[in-house]
Amino acid sequence: MSLKWIDSLDIAIELLEKFPEVDPASVRFTDLYEWVLALDAFDDDPNHCNERVLEAIQACWISEI
């Protein structure tokens, strides 16, 4: 399964598993962007991301905790 920017919840779950000690509310969007791109399952155009996409991922990550 490959992850796309629209897969906010699945990306959040992957980030939670990869960074269990991180408080997602304190993550800067620049770091969040880089972490998503570095996920093994992520396969989407880096240019298709914007602040709303990152906000959605962060919100899902917070709600998963």
Q: How far apart are CA 65 and CA 46, in angstroms?
A: 26
Q: At what angle do helices 8-18 and 51-64 cross, to 10 degrees?
A: 60
Residue 52's CATH number: 1.10.10.600
At 42, give phi and psi (nearest 5°): -75, 130
- Note whether residue 57 is domain-resident: yes
Tens of pLDDT, residue by residue over 2-20, are: 999 999 999 999 999 999 9
Tens of pLDDT, residue by residue over 16-51, are: 999 999 999 999 999 999 999 999 999 999 999 999
pTM: 0.96
Confidence of residue 63 (pLDDT cuts 50, 70, 90): very high
Total domain count, the chain: 1
Residue 1 is predicted with a pLDDT of: 81
- Note whether residue 59 is domain-resident: yes
